[in-house]
Each structure stands twice: as structure tokens, then as C-alpha cells.
A and B are shown apart, each in its own frame.
Chain A
């Protein structure tokens, strides 16, 4: 099972919860919008990534899982 993080930039409103919950993978640009440098989620961060996606107030953070 592989998982990738993706932001829907139209829905994203720069609340910033994702970067707070998952600073290992998500940082914010100068205007508070998320940058995901490495979309592949390592297995040890999967649970946190799921929490971050669930926490997004606009559901802009997407965790896309695939059978690898």
C-alpha cells in the first residue's frame, strides 16, 4: 500500500493545520499555503498523514492510497 499527499489548491484556504500536524512532510510558503516537497508518505508517517487530511477544515489535503 503506497500513499501520496496532494493538495486541492482551489479548496485550500491556508488554515495551516496540515503543516502543524505533519511538519515532516508539509511546510508553508510565504503566504501560508502548503508546499509538499515529497508527496510519497513513508509508512511510519501514514497515521499522521491520515490525521492531517482529516483535520483540514476545507478537506483540501488529500491522501491518495494505492495498492502497490
Chain B
């Protein structure tokens, strides 16, 4: 196929080869061994990075309908335009923090498919006229750092400085202002906004903070075009997504699926449930519970998920079997989230600690008769009163637990619980490490 250029703004994609029909897309060419795909293999599978301009890339992103895959689901073209429109030279940060304990997709991309991510980062740098890209990765990630450094060394000079910087562990360290503050001052804690990084971020410059999966999708859209991207999914939910599925499924792991896929097909892709499910946690610890009976009627689509109070977020799904105790697991999670507060804002520090103690008391059957009433007052008061959205996510999680596991609350007050703990994953240590 040949390229036709309609003008400097609207890009017709130079397609050297057709985009892969169906799936896999991002995960195409991935080996069984978990080895890093070399630059040569990357070019065999996807061809070389096309020479499209910044404005053309933004146009392609717009037409594809691509939205951020780091949790905020923000339209990518809008973000690129905002950063590109800044007065000072911009900086690109690849946010590879991935602090959701049950998420593994970004680590997979950075370690095994680094050239896909780096292609996207180079394209994004072109789009926002940045000359520096920082790939920020999470703590305990030397294997990721090595894979990235090796990949960077193998690439020809693309006129963009590429640097890898590892940060500490900690649930809130991946928040975009925490990433910027970490890189600027060594403290991975969120800052008060405005300004947001896109207007004034690292070194006072317009800063594009983008998830590795979003950049990887861009790397493919630049090659195969927005029409190819939209061959999967639907108008409102185009393309594919990486989902990390864990819990009561036979083959937990990272899967690439088309938007619009029914939830049951998603579970089947992960080997199917290992027992009857009672609930799904959609969106990780920043997400919400949904009863298995309702989840069974859902598809991986924004409208469907919104109708049950959920959002896909960073693509984390945890399946809870009937032999587990949803209340007990939720208590463990909220205790973790309270512990992971950056400790900067009173409502978060005190509010989440009190909320966690309350949920624990409910799980242990030692709660005050009006505990739930007080708990719901606290959740509604804490919401929106932190510098970042950590307390908002935490209270939303708790409220969904009280709703979905309402029957369990009654049993526990009567000192009855028939389940055994499912052991949802928590952060490696519950140690606060900000440096």
C-alpha cells in the first residue's frame, strides 16, 4: 500500500504492511519464554517506525479515539495538544510505575516489548516537541531497567534523549504529580494542583505523562492507521486493551482483548473460574466490586461498566470465588490503602485510618450497632478532600464492598463466616518508601 498525503495536518498513514487482523496486536510476536523482543524482531513483526510529523500523529490519535490506559481514560489527542501548545519546551515521561499490586501489564510491556513503548515515546516526543523522554519505572524493578537500557542502547539516535529512572515502591508514587515531584525533588508524593503537569510539570515545563500501554497503542496506530485501530471494539470503545486478570481463575495473567468483549469471555480467556464466583473487583484497588451475577451480563465497555458503578481503570480484574470472604478481603485492602497514604492531608491520613479500623471491626464482627452509619458519614466526608484521588478511590472501594457484601456484614455481626481468605495481593511490603 502507498501513502497519500492530504496536507500537513491530516495524515494518511504510510502502511508498509497491513495491520494484524484481530488479536494479538500489542502482544504480537511475544515469545513463550518471557525474553525481551529485540529491535530486529520488533521490526520483523511491525516494520520500522514511520516518519510522520507531530501534528500528523496528533491527528491520527484523534481519529483513532485512543484514550489513556493508565487509569484516567483521558483522550490522548487532547492531552498531546495541551502539552504541544505550551510555551516552553516539553518533556515526556513514560509512567511505568504500575503501583496497583494486581497489575502486571506495564511491566510486561516494558520488559518484553520495550521497543513498542519506546516507539510510542519517540512519537509522543515529536508530537509535543520534546527532546527528552524519561521512562520512570517502579521500585524493585532491576529486570525492567536492564531490558529498557538494553533496548535504548540498540536504537539509532532519534533526536530524543531517552533515560530510565527507577522510583520507590508505594501505592501513590505512580500518581502523575508524584512522579514529577519524585523526578524533580526525590520525593514521590502528590502535589497540590493546579498547575497540572501538562501545563507546568518537570522543571516548570509542559510535561506529558503517559502510560506505557497508551504509547504502545500509538506506536501501532502510527503504522497501521486509525481505521485499523477501530476494526476492533466499537465507536465508543475502540481498539484492544491489556487486562491483568487474577484471583479465582485457572490461568491468571495479562491478556489482550478487544473492547466490547463479554466479561465471561474474558474469564474464559484466563482459563475460566476455578470455582463459582461471588464477585469481581473491576479496576483493582482503585476500582469497585460488582456481584458476579451482574458481571456476567457485562461487556468490557465503558457504558456497561458505568451502569454498575465501575470503570476499567488500569485494566485490573480480580475474581473472588464463593469460598472467599469478600468482607475480610476488603478489610485487608482498605487497611493497605490507609497505610499507603502519602501522609500529607488530614482527611486522608485520619479518615482512611478510621475507615479501615471500622471495616476491620465489621469484618471481625465486633462493630458498634451503628458502625455502618458512621462509616458512611466518613466516606462521604473524606471524598474530594485530599490533594490527590487516593482517598476518593479508597472510599469508593469501601462503599462498593458494603453494597456487594451486605449479606456478609450481617453474618459477621452474628459471628458467622463460612469462607476462607482468598489472599488478594498487597504491595510487596507495607513499608512506606518515599525516596
Residues of A at under 8 Å CB distance from B? 7-14, 29-33, 35
**Chain B residues within an 8 Å CB radius of A30:** 350, 354, 378, 381
Looking at B125-133, B243-251, B340-348, B408-416, the stretch in contact with chain A turns out to be: B340-348
**Chain B residues within an 8 Å CB radius of A33:** 346-347, 350, 385
A12 touches B345 (CB 8 A): yes
A29 touches B381 (CB 8 A): yes
A9 nearest CB neighbor, chain B only: B345
B264 within 8 A of A: no
**Chain A residues within an 8 Å CB radius of B346:** 9, 12-14, 29, 31-33
| Chain B window 374-395, contacts with chain A (Cβ cutoff 8 Å), 1 for yes, 0 for no | 0000100100011100000000
| CA of A20 to CA of B151, assembled, Å | 59
A9 touches B191 (CB 8 A): no
**Chain B residues within an 8 Å CB radius of A14:** 346
**Chain A residues within an 8 Å CB radius of B387:** 8-10
| CA of A8 to CA of B385, assembled, Å | 9
B68 within 8 A of A: no
A9 touches B344 (CB 8 A): yes
In-complex Cβ contact of B350 among A7, A13, A31 (8 A):
A31
**Chain A residues within an 8 Å CB radius of B381:** 29-30, 35
| CA of A12 to CA of B385, assembled, Å | 11
The residue in A11, A14, A30 that gathers the most chain B C-beta atoms within 10 A of its C-beta is A30
B192 touches A8 (CB 8 A): yes
B349 nearest CB neighbor, chain A only: A31
B226 within 8 A of A: no
| CA of A25 to CA of B346, assembled, Å | 19
Min CB gap A64→B, angstroms: 10
List of 7 A-B pairs having minimum Cβ-Cβ separation, nearest first: A9-B345, A33-B346, A31-B350, A10-B344, A10-B387, A8-B192, A9-B387
Min CB gap A41→B, angstroms: 18
Min CB gap B347→A, angstroms: 5
In-complex Cβ contact of B385 among A9, A11, A13, A32 (8 A):
A9
**Chain A residues within an 8 Å CB radius of B378:** 30
Min CB gap A12→B, angstroms: 6
| CA of A11 to CA of B378, assembled, Å | 21
A35 touches B350 (CB 8 A): no
B351 touches A10 (CB 8 A): no
A10 touches B385 (CB 8 A): no
Known: A29-B381, A35-B385. A10 touches B191 (CB 8 A): yes
In-complex Cβ contact of B386 among A9, A11, A32 (8 A):
A9
Min CB gap B184→A, angstroms: 16
B345 nearest CB neighbor, chain A only: A9
| CA of A33 to CA of B354, assembled, Å | 14
The residue in B191, B354, B385 that gathers the most chain A C-beta atoms within 10 A of its C-beta is B385
B350 nearest CB neighbor, chain A only: A31
| CA of A33 to CA of B346, assembled, Å | 6
**Chain A residues within an 8 Å CB radius of B348:** 9
19 A-B residue pairings within 8 Å (CB atoms): A9-B192, A9-B344, A9-B345, A9-B346, A9-B347, A9-B348, A9-B385, A9-B387, A10-B344, A10-B345, A11-B192, A12-B345, A29-B346, A30-B350, A30-B354, A31-B346, A31-B351, A33-B385, A35-B381
